Amino acid sequence: MSACGKVDSSKKSGSVSIACSQQEDFCQTITKAFAKSSGIKTTYVRLGAGEVLARLATNPGEFDVWAGGQAENHLLADDKDWVEHYVPKNTNSLQQEYKDSKGSWTGFYTDSIAFCSNTSELKKKNVKAPTSWNELLTSNLKSSVAMPHPATAGVGYMAMYTQALLHGGNQQAAIDYFKQLNGNVMQYSKSAATGTEQAGRGEVTVAIALDSDCQKAIKAGYSDLKTTYPAEGTGYEVGALSVLKNARNKGSAHAFADWLMSTDAQNLYADVPSFAAPTNPKAKVGKDVSRQDKVKKVNWDVRKAADARDAFIKSFENDVASSKDAK
């Protein structure tokens, strides 16, 4: 009788529930492809990284797998004992920066922070597409910059940690930068992709965004958009996968993790299109995906970025964004 409630994690249960922190069309395409390939019923909920962490705090057994969102967020979930240490198949060839040796997270895509600008709005304001973080501080961009809120979208926190690294690790200097930028920010959005859409419609002039999101908006018809990068260096994302410790469908969760890291699965990224670069070196890279090896990046440390997150976000909410509401 004591064994009646146990789940045999070595067998697929026939279903898997995924917290997906990627764009909606990516979530749809990947889950449908896995269901077709495996025969496993696959469901997902599209949530930002901050939202996933909040959901896991209240219901750690809600999802079997977390796919997407920066690796440091997955480390934070691991710190709370919400993650099973599982190393998926097909990961031996990954660069070390794209995986955790003990399996708390595995990176399946990567992209970088960029400036996504509306060229028509730039002309109206008599400014050039920014190629420096300091160029976002010009008075000509008052209430004309979009940025995702660090508490709900990983890109917002990435921007904060990038500033700290550019100031030699000085977190107060990063907060001071965003205090200066605050007057130029029209809105701190809940979603990373919201800013690129606002820029595309001309509601803002520049969005702090992922280069993949900007490229996606361009391909969606926002032809006035242009992607530039800060010359002093930018942060980058390793989009990660974790199998969750309280998964009800462990066998299916492992199967999904193995499949997502395969060349066949990562070849799909070019056709979604997600405009992020796959981490599998054998995978096909879409023709419109930004060349990540050409971007000047800061020296990112996933563990340190994860450890600094809570204090950084608290300072941001108290000292920077208290005058604006995320919408």
Instruction: Write out pLDDT tens, residues 92-102.
Output: 999 999 999 99
DSSP 8-state symbol, 129: P
Q: Which residues contact 256 (CB under 8 A, 6 or more apart)?
A: 16, 18, 34, 38, 40, 42, 64, 65, 67
Do 149 and 267 reside in the same domain of the chain? no
Nearest-10 crossing angle of helices 171-181, 154-166: 120
Average pLDDT over residues 257-280: 88
H or E element in which residue 171 lies: helix 171-181
Do 97 and 211 reside in the same domain of the chain? no
Q: Residue 324: which pLDDT band, with cuts at 50, 70 and 90?
A: low
Do 136 and 117 reside in the same domain of the chain? yes
Structural domains in the chain (count): 2
Amino acid identity for residue 42 in this structure: T
Note whether residue 55 is domain-resident.
yes
Do 154 and 24 reside in the same domain of the chain? no
What pLDDT does 229 receive? Answer: 97
Do 154 and 216 reside in the same domain of the chain? yes
Q: Which residues contact 53 (CB under 8 A, 6 or more apart)?
A: 73, 76, 77
Amino acid identity for residue 157 in this structure: Y
Note whether residue 8 is domain-resident.
no
Do 283 and 172 reside in the same domain of the chain? no
Do 318 and 202 reside in the same domain of the chain? yes
Do 175 and 29 reside in the same domain of the chain? no
What pLDDT does 299 receive? Answer: 93
**CA-based angle 266:193:130, to the nearest 5?**
105
Do 136 and 208 reside in the same domain of the chain? yes
Question: Rounded CA gap, 29 and 46, in Å?
Answer: 13
Portion of the chain with pLDDT greater than 70, in percent: 94
H or E element in which residue 84 lies: strand 83-84
For residue 208, the enclosing domain spans 111-235+301-323
Question: Rounded CA gap, 110 and 113, in Å?
Answer: 11
Do 186 and 37 reside in the same domain of the chain? no
Do 141 and 212 reside in the same domain of the chain? yes
Tokens 């600008």 -> residue = 117
Q: What is the pLDDT of residues 35-89, one digit of tens each?
A: 999 999 999 999 988 899 999 999 999 999 999 988 998 999 999 999 999 999 9
Residue bearing the bigger pLDDT, 23 or 314: 314
Question: Whose CA is closest to 31, among 47, 51, 17?
Answer: 17
Note whether residue 314 is domain-resident.
yes
Q: Which residues contact 57 (CB under 8 A, 6 or more apart)?
A: 80
Portion of the chain with pLDDT greater than 90, in percent: 76
In the predicted model, is pLDDT for residue 327 greater than 80? no
Burial class (CB in 10 A: 0-12, 13-18, 19+), 255: buried
DSSP 8-state symbol, 294: G
Do 256 and 317 reside in the same domain of the chain? no
Note whether residue 4 is domain-resident.
no
Check if the beta carbon of residue 154 is closer than 8 Å to that of residue 306. no
Note whether residue 6 is domain-resident.
no
